Structure 1
Amino acid sequence: MWIVYKQVGIFTHYLTPSGQFQPVLERASKFPSKEMAETMAKNHGGVVRQLDKIE
């Protein structure tokens, strides 16, 4: 799974289904393919990261 995130100061915000960035990982939209996540990142201004890679 892939997510879209944005660094806001010292906080990481995640793209939610409503199209907004919020600091809660549980609300993040999860995309099955990297291509889908890259499209959303391009539209909303974020960075793509594989969910398994988050620490």
Structure 2
Amino acid sequence: MPTAKQLADFGYKTFSTSMMLLTVYGSYLCSVRAYQFFQSRRSRRQAAEEQKTS
């Protein structure tokens, strides 16, 4: 039978791990969104330059 301290330690480790994973996943989503933003900006800029030249 686990003691109260062992249960508290397990809960803390579980919570900390889940927060760490959420932070990593959030960072991933943020970087993907930033990449998409800069890609769309680049393509719009290229389209504007092509329109100027033609």
Same fold (TM over 0.5): no
Bigger-Rg structure (1/2): 2
Structure with greater contact order relative to length (CA < 8 Å, sep ≥ 6):
1
The TM-score range, normalised by the shorter chain, is under 0.3
* Higher helix content, 1 or 2: 2
TM, length-normalised to structure 2? 0.25
Q: Which has the higher strand share?
A: 1
Give the TM-score of the pair, scaled to structure 1: 0.24
